[in-house]
Amino acid sequence: MNRKLSVGIAASALALVTAVGTATAASAAPADKAQVLSSWTQTSASSYNTWAAARANQAAWSSYAFDWSTDYCSSSPDNPFGFPFAMSCARHDFGYRNYKAAGSFDANKSRLDSMLYEDLKRVCNNYSGATKSSCNGTAWTYYQAVKAFG
């Protein structure tokens, strides 16, 4: 191969590597993605509220490339016995999908399942008496199911 051709190929390859590297860096998720994900998947009510606000304004978080998809409570009813569990299940799906994508699901599964249970119990706190007991029993059943099969 002659020298001019070799230099031309090398220069083209370098330009391509530089362009690809720049495009990759520009499209990469923000450095704090893991911290944001963690803050939205804690067991507290404030964590739930922050996640719910972000979910309502997903476009503002588009650079993070979070997976917001959900099937709610999967094959279980989303509103068993009239208890509105759908949003708690959506947050649980959010945690599962995003930690799986990050490659750190196993280290976070237990907390995500506990997060679901705490969210469901907060739903149940809107009731009293036998209705609250029934709701809490249903929440416990959902928690045990995700612990075992989630």
Domain of residue 99 covers 31-149
Residues 39 and 23 grouped into a single domain: no
Residues 145 and 90 grouped into a single domain: yes
Q: What is the pTM of this model?
A: 0.82
Residues 20 and 39 grouped into a single domain: no
pLDDT in tens, 46-77: 999 999 999 999 999 999 999 999 999 999 99
Residues 43 and 106 grouped into a single domain: yes
Residues 76 and 116 grouped into a single domain: yes
Q: What is the pLDDT of residue 7?
A: 42
Residues 24 and 53 grouped into a single domain: no
Q: Above 60 in pLDDT, residue 16? A: no
Residues 64 and 118 grouped into a single domain: yes
**Cα(144)–Cα(56) distance, integer angstroms:** 29
Count up the domains in the chain and report the number: 2
Q: What is the pLDDT of residue 29?
A: 84
pLDDT in tens, 81-116: 999 999 999 999 999 999 999 999 999 999 999 999
Exposure b/e, 91-120, CB count within 10 A at least 16 = b: bbbbbbbbbeeeeeeeebbeebbebbbbbb
CA-to-CA dists, residue 109 to 28, 66, 139, angstroms: 25, 17, 17
Residues 21 and 83 grouped into a single domain: no
Residues with a catalytic annotation lie at 92
Mean pLDDT rounded to a whole number for the chain: 87
Q: Above 60 in pLDDT, residue 4? A: no
Residues 116 and 78 grouped into a single domain: yes
